Amino acid sequence: MPRAVEAMAPTGPCFVVGPRGYFAFQQDYSSRQTGSLLGVVNGFFEQSTVYDAGGQRWQSNGIDCSYRRSWWTVLLANTVYNPRISVAILWRPPCDYVLDELKRGYAQAVEHDDDILTQFVSASELQRRIAAAQSFADLVEVYRWMQTDAEPGEPQSDD
């Protein structure tokens, strides 16, 4: 398996679109990530796409970690042994993306959401704001609003 090339890796800020409706913003993205053994053996990192602020879409070319997929690790991860482990993500060369592609991934994550993205906001208002976004920075503001239900620049309550 090829080794990770540090010069050719996404850096933050980035949005990560993963399997099963996973969507996250990471201000300081790193190719060294931590996940559950179950997520690793099920291919979470290989199935995720990273969108950086520079307009580049990144997809995994595999991972480097201490565990290998086998019937034994799959059985253990699904039953009694599911530790958090560190992986190094190996990357394919990046491709350009258009903002609508990222917006579509965000909107689809909201459609499949299990009250993670919509914990503090309504799905319809979140979808409206995603659709109205005109830039990567606008989507970052939508994500920050989504986490707190506070308008940008609005003081946070200490309740």
* Confidence band for 7, pLDDT divided at 50, 70 and 90: low
DSSP state of 74: H
Beta strand 23-26 with 84-91 is unpaired
pLDDT value, residue 12: 86
Average pLDDT, the chain: 89
pLDDT value, residue 155: 54
Quote the CA–CA distance of 36 and 46 in Å, as a whole number: 14
Please determine, for residue 5, whether its predicted confidence score (pLDDT) is greater than 50: no
Distance in angstroms between the alpha carbons of the first and the last residue of the chain = 51
Please determine, for residue 86, whether its predicted confidence score (pLDDT) is greater than 50: yes
pLDDT in tens, 19-72: 989 999 999 999 999 999 999 999 999 999 999 999 999 999 999 988 888 888
Quote the CA–CA distance of 43 and 140 in Å, as a whole number: 26
Task: Say which residues have a Cβ less than 8 Å from residue 158's Cβ, sequence separation at least 6.
Answer: none
CB atoms within 10 A of CB 116: 14
Please determine, for residue 1, whether its predicted confidence score (pLDDT) is greater than 90: no
Q: In this structure, are residues 22 and 58 in contact, taking their beta carbons and an 8 Å threshold?
A: no
pLDDT in tens, 107-149: 999 999 988 999 999 999 999 999 999 999 999 999 999 998 6
* Confidence band for 150, pLDDT divided at 50, 70 and 90: low
